[in-house]
Amino acid sequence: MSVSENVLSVFGFDASLVAVKSHGEGLINHTYIVESENNAYILQKINTAVFKNPVAIAHNIQLIAGYLASNTPNYHFVAPISSVHGNQMEYIEEGYYRVFPYVKGSHAKTVVQNEEQAYEAGYQFGLFTNALNGLDANDLQITIPDFHNLTLRYAQFELALTSGNQDRIAASKNQIQFLKDHSWIANFFEKIKSNPNFKLRATHHDTKISNLLFDDHDKGICVIDLDTLMPGYFISDLGDMFRTYLCAVSEEETDFSKIVVRPTIYKAIVKGYLKGAGNMLSIDEADQIYYAGLFMMYMQALRFLTDFINDDIYYGAKYPLHNFNRASNQIKLLEDYLQKKEILQIEINN
Ligand code: GN1
Ligand code: MG
């Protein structure tokens, strides 16, 4: 997909003076880098099949930009650039677009290579939620209803088993059985939802490593991609770090022998997160640090397998077994994580 001259001009770019290239590996939005002679920008087209109310995204970004500016003015926040009409988001040719400045001297990573990077990411995402601790999370709008509602994700999985592609259901027999056998992970989430000591917080909901910008010394500069910023529980952010950093290979890996949880990375994430979070977590919340990983790995396995059974309607697929493989990958990760429970808990108590 390419970007039209019209879209570029709404954000003040002259198509003959900029170079536009696809950027990043996100599954949902289309992201481009726009380079002029002296500057670079990130242009994004929002996927409106997923984000049905893009105006909610713009509302949230503006709300927290204002909140951070008055409460923690030193916090590095990347606000969108206004269009020639003065808007931070524009509806052009049946699509919603926005532009961010490219943060100079920054780079993004696709995998966590060492403990220092894991600590730094944990720290930055903890700091982010902590900086917004005083904001009433209910003032944020919901950009994707029930996004991390594991109860609903389980119900969607069960529905797919009755109405989905029968051949794909048959091919997924083992994965389906595994997910059913571990439905206690979904049941436990119900306890969390009804526990008043679990606070609804301003939650990022997509803490993969490429959503943190690093400087040349591998220190974090700021978190990016605030489309799924909504009220949520801390287990979403901490859990997605476990899900995406603990293993040296990603959810795309199909050689499952490489899927191994690294306890030292677990310890580094937790240390960093708790440092950034300060004393924000309640005792009940802090008791569920390990559960955060179960929650996110299990949910992602459910989502990938459900999508495979539903003929890839949500994520799409680069090859026929793509979502099947990603689900199997996440199940393998969850198995190793379950098996290492004791070791991981010893790590954080030391
Ligand atoms: C999607 O598009 P991306 O990669 O930022 C998804 C996340 C999943 C992730 C899995 C809005 O994120 O929830 O964890 O894929 N985002 C949405 O790779 O569904
Ligand atoms: Mg994202």
93 and 221, same domain (yes or no): no
DSSP state string for 249-315: S-TT---GGG----HHHHHHHHHHHHHHHTT-S-HHHHTTHHHHHHHHHHHHHHHHHHHHHTTTTTT
Is residue 107 domain-resident?
no
Distance 186 CA to ligand 1 centre (A): 19
Runs of H (alpha helix) within 114-183 = 115-131, 150-163, 166-171, 173-181
Domain final position from 34, 67, 101: 101
Distance 167 CA to ligand 2 centre (A): 31
pLDDT tens digits for range 196-239: 999 999 999 999 999 999 999 999 999 999 999 999 999 999 99
The whole-angstrom distance between residue 126's C-alpha and the CA centroid of its chain comes to: 14
pLDDT tens digits for range 147-164: 999 999 999 999 999 999
Distance between CA 122 and CA 116 in Å, rounded? 10
| Atom 19 of ligand 1: nearest residue by CA position | 28
CB 29 within 8 A of CB 47: yes
95 and 130, same domain (yes or no): no
Which residues line the pocket of ligand 1, CB cutoff 6 A?
Answer: 26-28, 50, 144, 206, 228, 251, 300
The CATH number given to whatever domain includes residue 141 is 3.90.1200.10
Is residue 266 domain-resident?
yes
Radius of gyration of the chain (CA): 20
Distance 27 CA to ligand 1 centre (A): 6
**Domain count for the chain:** 2
136 and 9, same domain (yes or no): no
From the CA of 47, which ligand is nearest? 1
167 and 288, same domain (yes or no): yes
The CATH number given to whatever domain includes residue 48 is 3.30.200.20
The whole-angstrom distance between residue 254's C-alpha and the CA centroid of its chain comes to: 21
92 and 129, same domain (yes or no): no
Residue scoring higher pLDDT (24 or 220): 220
Distance 212 CA to ligand 1 centre (A): 15
24 and 70, same domain (yes or no): yes
Distance 227 CA to ligand 2 centre (A): 7
DSSP reduced 3-state for 146: coil
Q: Is the pLDDT score of 85 beyond 80? A: yes
CB 107 within 8 A of CB 221: no
The residue type at 130: N
Q: What is the pTM of this model?
A: 0.94
Domain interval for residue 316: 115-349
180 and 301, same domain (yes or no): yes
Whole-number percent of the chain with pLDDT over 70: 100
- The counts of H helices and E strands in the chain are 13, 9
68 and 133, same domain (yes or no): no
Distance 168 CA to ligand 2 centre (A): 27
Q: Is the pLDDT score of 96 beyond 90? A: yes
223 and 131, same domain (yes or no): yes
| Atom 15 of ligand 1: nearest residue by CA position | 27
From the CA of 244, which ligand is nearest? 1
Q: Are strands 201-203 and 212-214 parallel, antiparallel or unpaired?
A: unpaired
Q: Is the pLDDT score of 26 beyond 80? A: no
Q: Is the pLDDT score of 28 beyond 90? A: no
Is residue 269 domain-resident?
yes
Domain final position from 67, 101, 135: 101
The whole-angstrom distance between residue 269's C-alpha and the CA centroid of its chain comes to: 16
50 and 170, same domain (yes or no): no
58 and 132, same domain (yes or no): no
pLDDT tens digits for range 301-323: 999 999 999 999 999 999 999 99
| Atom 5 of ligand 1: nearest residue by CA position | 26
Q: pLDDT value at position 271?
A: 97
Task: Choose the residue to mutate in 27, 53, 313 for probing ligand 1, maximizing ligand atoms within 8 Å of C-beta.
Answer: 27
Is residue 58 domain-resident?
yes
| Atom 13 of ligand 1: nearest residue by CA position | 206
140's tokens:
């944020």
95 and 128, same domain (yes or no): no
The residue type at 215: D
Q: Which of 252, 225, 236, 246 is nearest to 291 (CA)?
A: 236
CB 291 within 8 A of CB 299: no
Domain final position from 101, 135, 169: 101
